[in-house]
Amino acid sequence: MLRIVYPICCGLDVHKSTVSACIAATDGNGVTTYQERKFLTFTTDLKSLEQWLTDNNCKDVCMEPAGKYWYPVWNILEPTCNLVIAHPKYVKAIRGKKTDKKDAKWIADIFKHDLVNGSFIPPNDIAIARMLLTAIYHILRKNEPYNADLYRKSDKPPANRQVSVDEAIFILQRQGYIISQPQSVID
């Protein structure tokens, strides 16, 4: 018999408009009971998901993402849960009559035995830094404008246009990023 690593855990099957959730709670005798619910992907519904997990004392959550739709779920649940993102290839259920409920239950079942390898998700500050560096790269190297207001009526600057780092930071600030003045690392 497989060892149960997470006695109370949740499997989430995330889609564009819905999230199927299944909490698997295993008692001392090894009997697992399941609670299943479906949530919409609006913020209020995701907060309801968070509350439902808290009410059921579920801190460990494994989700199968669909494209980019897992980001809001991650952002809502990250402060209160230990999250694992599982690549769909590795949590694929056996062929047959697949439903979102069955997928969520399957994810919970394999996760409770710690049979899921999670994908690496960088900490929030690293993710923000990567996003900003990518944006600065596109502005500096690829000459792709992020704000058409800066370039008169044309959407693109001339091909040979050079953009300074200060101008790139200005463009990002105009886009809504909050960037303080960069500090020099060399004194």
HEC secondary structure over the chain:
CCCCCCCEEEEEEECCCEEEEEEEEECCCCCEEEEEEEEECCHHHHHHHHHHHHHCCCCEEEEECCCCCHHHHHHHHCCCCEEEEECHHHCCCCCCCCCHHHHHHHHHHHHHCCCCCECCCCCHHHHHHHHHHHHHHHHHCCCCCCCHHHHCCCCCCCCCCCCCHHHHHHHHHHCCCCCCCCCCCCC
* pLDDT per position as a tens digit, 145-182: 544 444 433 334 444 455 566 666 776 677 676 666 55
Q: What is the pLDDT of residue 93?
A: 67
* pLDDT per position as a tens digit, 14-73: 999 999 999 999 998 889 999 999 999 999 999 999 999 999 999 999 998 888 888 899
The pTM for the full model equals 0.69
Q: What is the pLDDT of residue 181?
A: 56
